[in-house]
Amino acid sequence: MHEQMLARYDVERVAAGLERVEPIKEYAGPLGAGYDPGRLADYGFSPRETDSVMVPYEDISPETQDGFRKKLVDAVAGKALVTTTGTVALEGHSGSNILGLTSETTDASVDGAYGNHHGNGHVLIGDLDARPGVILSPSTAIRDPAFWRWHRHVDDLHFSYQDNLSSHDFGDRPPVDIKKLALGFERDHPGSEREGADLSDAANATITTGGTDTLETTMRLGAYELLTGNRYRFDYLSHSPFFIATELQNRDAAIKAITLRFFLIPDQLFDVNGDPTTATGRQMRRFAIELDKVRFRAQPGAQAFGRSGRQMAVVRRPVVVDPGEVVDVDGSTTGSDARTCTCGWPYGLLLPRGSAEGMSFTLFAMATDNELDRVGSQKKCGSMSFCGVGDEYPDARPMGYPFDRPFEKPLADIVHENSNMMLLPLKIRWTNPPPLVGW
């Protein structure tokens, strides 16, 4: 999930003419751009000055944190975690999971000697000895630029492990081919915006006409009211509701359950024709943005399938399509499902902002065997892809599959060789840029 957040953040930076985020490398060094919490100072948050440094807290210091980092780096290099009772091998996807559980420090960590590497970074940057910085609270942490630099550093560690795994061979593909891929707007198909709407007719019509090659985003002005009664205005991103239309061909004589997976690839960061074995090419797959995974029972022969953006597995539920009026809620009074229901990606941020002239992307679609995936039905609360179903991640395949491992050849070549995959070029156009640069 952190990798996905970073991919989206970097796409937004590139769209705004900025460089990709740089990881924190030296724990004793300056942290770069600071952050002024503005009105959040009324709630106990303090500013973090530009080029501030990590501040020790109790038994946590930059030096001890660096020791934890070195142990994790050694574990990745040696493909094993060293514990007080022996070693725990790191192999394949399970090794990636163990590494994550240990660097996060959870009940499933293999040994406390590796520390709370991820969490300690928030503490050292947030400076608990003073009034805390926003990075200490999950509700506000992403406001601080140092949050992104820290998570790029953490993700670098886990990416280095995955990057040394063997490539997927895609030999378990189902007998279901993706024949066509298209995009359509809900506004052109009345009724497609309804919860649980059957989009097969809309998908058929869109595939026949070719649909649109440009999706649209817009910045809007909303209002936010806190529990204190204070009311603020804020800018937020939205987009014209859309759906993905897919024409499928089941070559079997029986119904076949498949999982359809959709990713959005930013062309400026991921060249589908580029060599993925070079130093730069190996980094590209980190920028594939997951949109959806959905179970579908493919009937024998040809059929169309439509999937609305508001149905997609990364979006939190219940879906808030247009959060123009937001009222603060007290988590302690909203019931046991409160945290689950607020987990996931906001619908308005499903698409990156793009650019006024139209930023180039590629839609990647893939059909996998659902009997092997064990991907179930979308739940009504939260996000299936980011928040799981209950305490389980609802996919036997790794998070980010198939972009969780290095490719041996360009993605376009892989797609050409596998009839269960397809690419579709598109643009995302920001429809209401201000007259001056920036917003």
Specify the pairing of strand 325-327 against strand 214-225: parallel
CA distance 35 to 134: 9
pLDDT at 123: 94
Whether omega before 145 lies within 30 degrees of 0, making that bond cis, reads: no
What are the residue ranges of CATH 2.60.40.1520 in the chain? 176-430
| Alpha carbon distance 345, 386 (integer Å) | 8
**Strand 242-250 relative to strand 421-430: parallel, antiparallel, unpaired?**
unpaired
Angle at which helix 62-78 crosses helix 145-162, to 10 degrees, equals 20
Angle separating helix axes 92-104 and 145-162, nearest 10 degrees: 150
DSSP strand pairing (86-89 vs 80-83):
antiparallel
Q: How far is CA 307 from the centre of its chain?
A: 19
Residue whose C-alpha is closest to residue 195's, from 78, 288, 321, 304: 321
CB neighbours of 377 closer than 8 A, spacing ≥ 6? 295
User: In which residue ranges of the chain is CATH 1.10.1280.10 found?
Assistant: 2-162
Q: Which residues contact 52 (CB under 8 A, 6 or more apart)?
A: 30, 31, 34, 127
* 341 vs 313: CA distance, rounded Å: 13
Across 209-358, where does the E strand assignment appear?
A: 214-225, 231-239, 242-250, 256-266, 289-298, 301-308, 325-327
pLDDT value, residue 439: 43
Q: How many residues does the chain have?
A: 439
**pLDDT value at residue 230:** 82
CATH superfamily ID and name for 176-430: Hemocyanin, C-terminal domain (2.60.40.1520)
Q: What is the pLDDT along the chain (439 residues), one digit of tens a residue?
A: 889 999 999 999 999 999 999 999 999 999 999 999 988 888 889 999 999 999 999 889 999 999 999 999 999 999 999 988 889 999 999 999 899 889 887 777 887 788 899 999 999 999 867 779 999 998 899 999 999 999 999 999 999 999 999 999 999 999 999 999 999 999 999 998 887 889 999 999 999 999 999 999 999 999 988 777 888 888 999 999 999 999 999 999 999 999 999 999 999 999 999 999 999 999 999 999 999 999 999 999 999 999 999 999 999 888 888 888 777 765 544 455 556 677 888 999 999 999 999 999 999 999 999 999 988 777 677 787 777 666 667 889 999 999 999 999 999 999 999 999 999 999 999 999 987 554 4
pLDDT at 326: 79
Return phi, psi of residue 361, to 5°: -135, 170
Mutual orientation of helices 62-78 and 92-104 as an angle, nearest 10°?
170
Query: Helix or strand or coil: residue 263?
Result: strand
Q: Which residues contact 378 (CB under 8 A, 6 or more apart)?
A: 294, 311, 313, 317, 384
Homologous superfamily of 2-162 in CATH? Di-copper center containing domain from catechol oxidase (1.10.1280.10)
pLDDT (0 to 100) of residue 339: 63
